Structure 1
Amino acid sequence: MNKKWINSSFAYGLGMFAMMIPSQAFTSFYSYYYVEKLGLSLGLIALARLIYAIWDAVNNPMMGYFSDRTRTRFGRRRPWIAAAIPLFVLTFVMIFSPPSGLEDQGLFWWLLVGLILFEGVATILWVNYGAIFPEIFRGDRLRAKASAVQQGYQILAILIATVLTPIVYKAIGFSQMSILYGVAFAMFMLLCILGVREDEEASKEQPLPFLKAFKETLSNRDFWVFNFANSFAQTVNGMLSAAIPFYAKYVLHIPESQVSILMASVFVSVIPLVGVWYLIVRKLGGLKGWRLSLLAYGLSVIPLWFGTDLYSGIAAGVLVGFGLSGFLVSPAVLSGQIIDRDAERTGRRREGIYTAVAGFITRSSGLISALAFWFVGQVFGYVSGDEPGPDPKSTFLYLICVIPLILLAISYIISLFVKGYGRPEEPGISTSGKLEA
């Protein structure tokens, strides 16, 4: 394989592309599929999401600990990723292939079991993939570049998963769609792990004992504040993706065939804007760039309130794209600095446990999302597509605009408690794996 490809930002970013195709299709459409197409009540969906979010939060730290302790000639992370690929495909297909004839209770249990299995395998993938980033990219400049490339891949995958998915499931159905996306994931994920080489020296370090590893992580104040702030913003990412199909139907009153156009307005705009945010973060540094992205993201959701048709929805979507792109690029730089400081203090690189505990915090944001969907549905009487209640428009206006604005305001306020991270000029690891000044 070409040496320039090994550990390049493009090789690593391909993994994000691979995982985001099924993951975004899952996030954006599983609620819509079960509520609108299969008739499962919003209350049972919220309960399933709640249990799923709890399981998601609990399994992350243990995966990180085991990943850091893994020692093989192929590295610490790559063997886990390779083993998880076929299981991820199978569980993803399961979610979108329930047996016919199931009623509410049967559908609920099928969905719940599918969510638990899917999340368990997804944790293996995301923790190990994320742990590779701060290990092979060192320094703000390389991390900002790699993050921008990674997010470009992510947005391309999101476009495929959100813009094309309504067209694909309308043509071949949800089950066949899941098989198609699962095969695409497996192919691109294999290309990614073939193009990544882990740091051999990091694998030789003696891992910290279980209790000490968690004690060191739990005592890192900046890490916890940073990730609590991110958890509220991460909730918004999931809520926007899940609410857009409902927003299109009940607020903009556009046909299902135009949902892809609306989603494209958000995600197409992100592709060039990640480059803009790369320059902003490179100039301001990780901390200031991250704070600015949270502020911009919060302001960007306000125009969604004023959408009335496809064209105003597109305009609002482009503005959301600007805020979203900043939040996609900026956290990786500051997170890398926090992990570097831990390595200096402990003498060990522990990307796995930090990535996993970060996942525990930020992905537990699903609890907030589940409660928000249930609460707003209760307030406005929305039960399901069969029982939308007297005011479904307000239901989804609040879920796509008001709740996200509140969450992002909280996130920005929390971010003010992180201090002392400027723009360090430490050496970095080039895309060829060599140290560079």
Structure 2
Amino acid sequence: MRQRFVNTPIMYAFGMLAMMIPSQAFSTFYSYYYVDKLGLGLGLATLARTIFLIWDAVNQPLFGYWSDRTKSKYGRRRPWIFVAIPLFMLSFIMVFSPPENMSEMGLFTWFLIALIFYEAVATVIWVNYGALFAELFRGDRVRAKASAVQQGFQIVALLIGTALTPILFNAMGFSNMAIVYAVTFAVFMLICLRFVKEDPEASAAPQPKLKEAFKETLSNKPFWLINLANSFAQTVNGLLSATIPFYAKYVLKIPEEQNTILLASVFVSVIPLVGVWYWLLRRMDPVKGWRLSFIAYALSVIPLWFGTGLINGVIAGVIVGFGLAGFLVSPPMVNSNIIDMDAEKTGSRREGIYTAVSGFIIRSSGLISALAFLIVGVIFGYESGDNPGPNPEKTFRYLISVVPLILLTVSIIISYFVKIERKTENAS
């Protein structure tokens, strides 16, 4: 019975469900929690994120390199994930459990330490989980299906992590909410690992040393262009998630308990739309499909500018769902083709280092998002929930619509410079 489900898209996708529930709750509400609820200044919050990125620049590629070179009877990736599970649970709870009555500097220190701890452990899991995709699923059609299933699970996780989170923290507080999500993460990740079996040949293949590995990766032009374009689009994902609670409060002017309805409008609509994008992408060249997803996403953020209440907000949210669905499905396909090309050239499967460097480029989008938040906040005078400035409504209209449109336009332009020529056509 177990053998039927080994290395199937559904079982692999449980790992995405496991990671994205707490990750989405984190990305959507950590700024809101620390800045608007606890009163941490926006400048200090941005500084903490910047310090983290310096650390992240070091650990991401190294974790990928070490993962590629790991040799054990349990595989290259699974041992890393098993070790990281309890540490991730602890770090996530720590983020949402600062001691009471702290000074602003004390709160900043706690936030910085918790952020570095959380992101380091999350890096270990994301690098190793992401590296499994290109190894387990070979061929454009298979990858399109696996990506669609994975992103379907991701949307369920996004829905839980955003729409359910306000209900939980209003009912039991942020700390208890974090405990619930930490346990949920462990259960789903263990289900995923139970049904993942790595390819022993990939583990046995020779691996280049550190200098050669990074030289080969850093000289791969299509890889850099793809991930640079993805980074700007990923910034939009993070910016929308982080801005929606503020958008609901200051632009739509709806009660906090209606946040769940607004968030659900985005993520419930994505679930069937992932199927639409799967149907489109399996019939297209991966690069062209990937580019089309950027165009759709850019157009979809425009209606958010015109939101005036819950109904308008929900309609705009559904439209955004279409653009978001395309961007969620398409990147794994183009990134996997890059890894295949590298394997043809070097003779070794180096999913770990490519996933890690890609992850760092993508995660650097957090700094772009934080800087956009800070710059727009300074322009319009927003500092925190205690001092929202003279025009918080315009602040968050720009952050949720104009800034994403600009960022996605950059992604579209970069995508036209990407050319992937494969020596062999992947099997279907």
After TM superposition, is the score higher than 0.5? Answer: yes
Aligned to 1:3: 3
Aligned to 1:400: 400
Q: 2:177 corresponds to which letter in structure 1?
A: M
Aligned to 1:346: 346
1:107-122, aligned counterparts within 5 Å?
107-122=107-122
Is 1:38 aligned to residue 38 of structure 2?
yes
CA–CA distance in 1 between the matches of 2:39 and 2:62? 36
Conservation of the 8 A alpha-carbon contact between 1:287 and 1:422: no
Aligned to 2:13: 13
Q: 1:141 corresponds to which letter in structure 2?
A: R
Deviates more, 1:367-376 or 1:51-60: 51-60
Aligned to 2:97: 97
Q: 2:337 corresponds to which letter in structure 1?
A: Q
CA–CA distance in 2 between the matches of 1:423 and 1:41? 53
Give 5+ residue unaligned stretches, structure 1: 429-437
CA–CA distance in 1 between the matches of 2:53 and 2:163? 26
Conservation of the 8 A alpha-carbon contact between 2:140 and 2:427: no
CA deviation after TM superposition for structure 1 residue 56, in Å: 2.8
CA–CA distance in 1 between the matches of 2:326 and 2:423? 18
TM-score, normalization: structure 1?
0.96
Conservation of the 8 A alpha-carbon contact between 2:222 and 2:420: no
CA deviation string 1:243-262 (max 9, x = no partner): 00000000000000000000
Is 1:141 aligned to residue 141 of structure 2?
yes
CA deviation string 1:258-283 (max 9, x = no partner): 00000000000000000100111111
Secondary structure (helix, strand or coil) at the match of 1:283 reads coil
Conservation of the 8 A alpha-carbon contact between 1:25 and 1:165: yes
CA–CA distance in 2 between the matches of 1:284 and 1:321? 21
CA–CA distance in 1 between the matches of 2:413 and 2:160? 34
CA–CA distance in 1 between the matches of 2:108 and 2:160? 28
Aligned to 1:433: none
1:269-348, aligned counterparts within 5 Å?
269-348=269-348
Q: Taking structure 1 as reference, are residues 389 and 414 closer, same or farther at Cα in structure 2, changes over 3 Å only? A: same
Secondary structure (helix, strand or coil) at the match of 1:284 reads coil
CA–CA distance in 2 between the matches of 1:53 and 1:242? 18
Secondary structure (helix, strand or coil) at the match of 2:5 reads coil
CA–CA distance in 2 between the matches of 1:278 and 1:424? 23
CA–CA distance in 1 between the matches of 2:179 and 2:424? 45
CA–CA distance in 1 between the matches of 2:113 and 2:249? 29
CA deviation string 1:194-245 (max 9, x = no partner): 1100111001112111111111111111101111111100100000000000
CA deviation after TM superposition for structure 1 residue 361, in Å: 0.9
Secondary structure (helix, strand or coil) at the match of 2:138 reads coil
Q: Taking structure 1 as reference, are residues 424 and 409 closer, same or farther at Cα in structure 2, changes over 3 Å only? A: farther
Q: Taking structure 1 as reference, are residues 420 and 124 closer, same or farther at Cα in structure 2, changes over 3 Å only? A: closer
Conservation of the 8 A alpha-carbon contact between 1:54 and 1:364: no
CA–CA distance in 2 between the matches of 1:326 and 1:424? 26
Q: 1:272 corresponds to which letter in structure 2?
A: P
CA–CA distance in 2 between the matches of 1:194 and 1:214? 32
Is 1:123 aligned to residue 113 of structure 2?
no
CA deviation after TM superposition for structure 1 residue 422, in Å: 7.8
CA deviation after TM superposition for structure 1 residue 334, in Å: 0.9
CA–CA distance in 2 between the matches of 1:421 and 1:47? 41
CA deviation after TM superposition for structure 1 residue 97, in Å: 0.3
Is 1:265 aligned to residue 265 of structure 2?
yes
CA–CA distance in 2 between the matches of 1:156 and 1:275? 14
Aligned to 2:221: 221
Is 1:363 aligned to residue 363 of structure 2?
yes
CA–CA distance in 2 between the matches of 1:191 and 1:149? 16
CA–CA distance in 2 between the matches of 1:223 and 1:112? 31
Conservation of the 8 A alpha-carbon contact between 1:57 and 1:359: no
CA deviation string 1:370-407 (max 9, x = no partner): 11111111101101000000000111111111111000
Aligned to 1:168: 168
Q: 2:173 corresponds to which letter in structure 1?
A: G
Conservation of the 8 A alpha-carbon contact between 1:285 and 1:423: no
Secondary structure (helix, strand or coil) at the match of 2:105 reads helix
CA deviation after TM superposition for structure 1 residue 420, in Å: 3.6
Aligned to 1:78: 78
CA–CA distance in 2 between the matches of 1:54 and 1:379? 27
CA–CA distance in 2 between the matches of 1:426 and 1:418? 19
Q: Percent identity?
A: 65
Deviates more, 1:51-60 or 1:35-44: 51-60
CA–CA distance in 1 between the matches of 2:415 and 2:295? 10
CA deviation after TM superposition for structure 1 residue 52, in Å: 2.3
CA–CA distance in 2 between the matches of 1:23 and 1:296? 25
Secondary structure (helix, strand or coil) at the match of 1:178 reads helix
Conservation of the 8 A alpha-carbon contact between 1:50 and 1:371: no
CA deviation after TM superposition for structure 1 residue 54, in Å: 3.1
State the 4+ residue runs in structure 1 displaced beyond 6 angstroms. Answer: none
Secondary structure (helix, strand or coil) at the match of 1:3 reads helix
Aligned to 1:65: 65
Secondary structure (helix, strand or coil) at the match of 1:97 reads coil
CA deviation string 1:65-114 (max 9, x = no partner): 00000000000000000000000000000000000110211110000000
Q: 1:95 corresponds to which letter in structure 2?
A: V
Conservation of the 8 A alpha-carbon contact between 2:341 and 2:422: no
CA deviation string 1:10-32 (max 9, x = no partner): 01000000000100000000111
Secondary structure (helix, strand or coil) at the match of 2:98 reads coil
Q: Taking structure 1 as reference, are residues 422 and 70 closer, same or farther at Cα in structure 2, changes over 3 Å only? A: closer
Q: 1:27 corresponds to which letter in structure 2?
A: S
Secondary structure (helix, strand or coil) at the match of 2:314 reads helix
CA deviation after TM superposition for structure 1 residue 366, in Å: 1.2
CA–CA distance in 1 between the matches of 2:237 and 2:85? 25
